[in-house]
Every structure is written in C-alpha cells, then in structure tokens.
Amino acid sequence: MAALGQGTASWGHTGGTRPATIPPPPPTGTLPPRMLRVEFKGQPYDWFNLDEMGELVRSEDFVNTLRENIVHYFSVPYDCQVVFDEEGVLSTAADFARALKGSRPCIQVWDVREMPQDLREQAAQKLAVAAAEVARSQRTLNAFPGRAGGGSRPLSPWPVRVAGQVEAEPAAPCQGGPASVGALGPRLVGVGPAQEPRASFADRLAVGGTPPVPPPLAAGPYPAGPHPLAMSARPMMPAGLVGPSLLPGTAGSWVPAVMGGSVPPPPMPMEPVSVLPGSAPGLRQYDVGMRPPWQDPSLALSKECMEVTLTKDLSDANSRFGFANVPSVDGRHLLVTWVDVNGLLARWNRSYPERGVREGDLICAVNGAMDDVEAMRLQLQHDAVRMLVRKGIGPGLLPPEGRA
C-alpha cells in the first residue's frame, strides 16, 4: 500500500482551494489544534478541529458525515469513495477512529474510477486478507457458543413440555468436558400450575413444516369510504369539524365516547363546507370552526434565522453547494465548518452579503426538515435546498484560523 505523503503545506486552514498558510508558532506549553487534513487529487484541505468534536469522532455518525461531505465537496459518489491513511484502506468506524487519533491526522480520498490500477489491486489484496481474518474469528466464536463457567445452550431455549409435568433440564456439556450441574443442582422447568404444551418456534417448524397462518380479518359491516370527488367539487369535511362537537357529551373533543359492543362505530358523515365570502375562485378559504391541528415549525424559525436558497446547475457537472458541516453538540443543527470559494454558497455570499453564511453559523432547517441532523443531511442531497441559518454561535466553537 502506497503511503500517504505528508505534503509541503503546513496545517493552517485553507478555506477551500486557498493554499495552506504557515500559522504562527504556538505558545510554549500548548499543543496546536488537531486539524483534520484531507487530500484529494494532490491538493490538501484542512477541514475542522477534531479536539472540538469530542466523542463524536469515534461514532459511526461521524464517519457517515465525513463521507457525505466528500460527496458534496469533491463530487465523489458514496459508493465510489476509497479512503486511505498511512496504514491502508479505512473501512469501518474503528478504522476511522484509529486514523483520527494521531496528533496530525491525515486521510487521502480517491475516486475508485480514477485510481491507478496497481494501487487498486494492492488495496483489494489487503482487504481480502483482512476479510479472511475476520471470517476466521467468526468461525472461532461460532464454534464455542457457551459462556465461561457454564455449558453451551441448546439450539431451542424453550423445551417441549407436557401440562403439569416438572422437567429437570441439566446444562448441556461443552465439547471435550464432562457435564456438570453446578452447586445449585439442575434447573427446574415448568414449576407452577398446569400449562398447555408449548414448543419453540424451531420445534414447531420441525414438526409441522411451517407455522400456522392466522385467518384473514373479517371485513367490517361498513363501506370502505365515500366515492371520490371530482376536481371541480367542493372539498368534503367531517361533519363534527363544522358543528359544535363531535359526539354528545364530548364537548368538541377529538376522542369519541366509548361505545359498547365489539362492532366499530360507523364513519362520521361527510358534509361540504361553505366557502368564505370575498375569496378568490382559485384560492379557496374554508372556515372549519376551529384552529388547525398542525402548524409549520419553520414559521417560528424564520423570525430569528435568515433564509438561504441554493440551486445546482444540472448542465454543469462541477456545480456543488460548496460547504462543510458537522452535527452540533445538541444534535439538532448543522455547524458550518468550511465554505468553498468556488461553490454556490460562496456565490450567494457575494450576491447577498447581508445574508452571507460564514464558518461557525448554524443551519437550523433544510427544506422544512429541522431538529434532526440526519433528515437535514438527507435533504442536502437534493439539487435545490432552502436553508434557515442562524448567525453567530460564539468564537469558542471554531478553530483559531476560522475566527472573525
């Protein structure tokens, strides 16, 4: 495996395609920040300070975030990424955690479609050796399923029992040694009142071939629903939404009163609602007599965040949003850690400086998804995004090179 070059540039923040600058020497007794360096096509990039990520660096979510950032900034599809460090190919979260432990962590990103043939063959050979070692460890673990100090469990943990019978089930002996019941003697199975014979799922498969299939549910006495309406017809609303209450005695509650019997109650009748006077024919407004049960959460965020819209040019293969992000500490937002000077976000910053997005800003929502970093990162895979961004999280969360 070809070893990764350390490069001639220093460990300063590059900010996209800018060449790395030489940082001033750190004060005596202090260690420089552990910036993650990513090399792609011979060009080094400093992304973010790993010391500020904490335990997140050792999680599988961090690896997924790292790979998704590679998709955004280098336009390398997820399934075409091959990541190396000085030891070889990084495959699992444990591999990445080991590679990021060093004082000067550095990884090299390759597009498998552009890798040299000899490098690809060497990587495949080492992965085959690692796969053989993993398979050997799995065979070793599966050969001795028992716990230390006790016998191995049988294949079926629920033995077949006869009603009212007390059965002694001694521990199964381990291969190569005598059986031992231990200091407490044999375990008693079936102690208590008489029960119906019960077999495990595996025993039932062995006796009957396949488990019994429950009969289908009987159809209800009521029709499936009203006939579909024409597009020109007025919309239908449940009558309970228009009137003062749903059922007598419920006082407008959404929970209907408990009805006797096992037959479900019939569906509520449907009645057309009236169109408010003065409304335009194309924009109908309806008065349902109560407040809607849902509300757009992004409306509250829009008052304290700024809106940013980015759209990729499908005719340009190099069109990308051009910014890096990692999950925030609370796991509800995306922290912007790097902005590519050639990306769409940098172009937005030049066009709208009063609404520019800088390193250290928080992305609160993407295409309506909020409070869930995985959902927001999934929305960033689209060609057009609408983001709500909050300015200013404080200089303590950024590397020294990225502070204003």
- Which tens digits make up the pLDDT trace of 337-350? 889 998 999 999 99
- Checking DSSP bridges between strand 81-84 and strand 362-366, what pairing results, if any? unpaired
Bridge-based pairing state of the strands 362-366 and 384-390:
antiparallel
More confident call, 235 vs 302: 302
Per-residue pLDDT tens digits for 115-145: 898 888 888 888 888 888 888 888 888 887 6
Nearest to 297 by CA among 289, 305, 288, 287: 305
Question: Can you give the pLDDT at residue 345?
Answer: 93
Token pair listed for 63? 């690896």
Is the predicted pLDDT of residue 38 greater than 70, yes or no? Answer: yes
The model's pLDDT over 326-339, given as tens digits with 9 standing for 90+, comes to 888 888 889 898 89
Strand-strand pairing, 35-40 and 106-111? parallel
Least confident range of 36-50, 57-71, 179-193, 380-394: 179-193
Give 293-301 contacts, CB < 8 A, sequence gap 24+.
293/254, 296/368, 297/370, 298/365, 298/368, 298/370, 298/388, 301/364, 301/365, 301/370, 301/388
Q: What is the mean pLDDT of residues 222-245?
A: 44
Selection from 15-24, 161-170, 266-275, 314-323 with the highest mean pLDDT: 314-323
What is the predicted pLDDT for the residue at 294? 41
248, burial (CB in 10 Å: exposed 0-12, middle 13-18, buried 19+):
exposed
Structure tokens at 209: 């071939």
Please check the confidence at residue 289 and state whether its pLDDT lies above 90. Answer: no
Is the pLDDT confidence value at 400 over 50?
A: no
The gap from C-alpha 363 to its chain's centroid, in whole angstroms, comes to 17
**Cβ atoms within 10 A of the Cβ of 368, count?**
13
Domain boundary among 101, 120, 139: 120
- Cα–Cα distance between 312 and 296 in angstroms, integer? 26
If one counts the domains in the chain, the total is: 2
The CATH number covering residue 318 comes to: 2.30.42.10
Tokens 């294949």, residue located: 155
Mean pLDDT of 22-45: 75
- Within a domain: 292: no
d(CA 291, CA 272): 18
Q: Is the pLDDT of residue 310 over 90?
A: yes
Is residue 336 one of the residues assigned to a domain?
yes
* Least confident residue range of 18-22, 64-68, 233-237: 233-237
Q: What pLDDT does 218 receive?
A: 52
pTM over 0.75: no
Residue 22 is predicted with a pLDDT of 57
Find tokens 């790993």 and name the residue.
Answer: 50
Q: Which element (helix H / strand E) includes 63?
A: helix 60-74
- In 3D, which of 183, 181, 176, 269 has the Cα closest to residue 222? 269
| Model confidence band, residue 42 (pLDDT cutoffs 50, 70, 90) | confident
Could you tell me how many residues make up the chain?
404
Beta bridge partners of 326: 335
Q: List, in order, residues 6 or more apart from 372 with CB less than 8 Å away.
A: 332
Query: Is 308 a residue whose pLDDT tops 90?
Result: yes
pLDDT tens digits for range 364-373: 999 989 888 8
Q: What is the pLDDT of residues 63-116, one digit of tens each?
A: 888 888 888 888 889 889 999 988 888 888 888 888 888 778 888 899 989 889
Q: Domain for residue 321, yes or no?
A: yes
Q: Which residue has the tokens 């009987």?
A: 218
For the chain, what is the mean pLDDT?
67
Q: Which of 120, 141, 168 is the last residue of a domain?
A: 120
Residue 337 lies in a domain: yes
- Residue 272: pLDDT band by 50, 70, 90 thresholds? low
Q: Please report the pLDDT score of residue 365 as a whole number.
A: 92
Quote the distance between the C-alpha of residue 386 and its chain's center.
20
Q: Which of 88, 104, 120 is the last residue of a domain?
A: 120
Q: Is residue 289 part of a domain?
A: no
> Who's near 127: CB < 8 A, 6+ residues apart?
89, 91
CATH number, domain containing residue 72: 3.10.20.90
Residue 383 lies in a domain: yes
CA-CA distance, 55 to 46, in Å (whole number)? 20
Contact call for residues 46 and 14 (beta carbons, < 8 A): yes
Mean predicted confidence (pLDDT) in 196-206: 47
Does residue 276 sit within a domain?
Answer: no
Q: Which residue has the higher pLDDT, 257 or 352?
A: 352
What range defines the domain where residue 371 resides?
298-390
∠ Cα 269 270 276 (to 5°)? 140
pLDDT over threshold 60, residue 307: yes
Question: Of 194-198, 261-265, 313-317, which range is least confident?
Answer: 194-198
Q: Is residue 169 part of a domain?
A: no
The answer to whether residue 151 scores a pLDDT higher than 90 is no
The answer, yes or no, to whether residue 247 has pLDDT greater than 60, is no
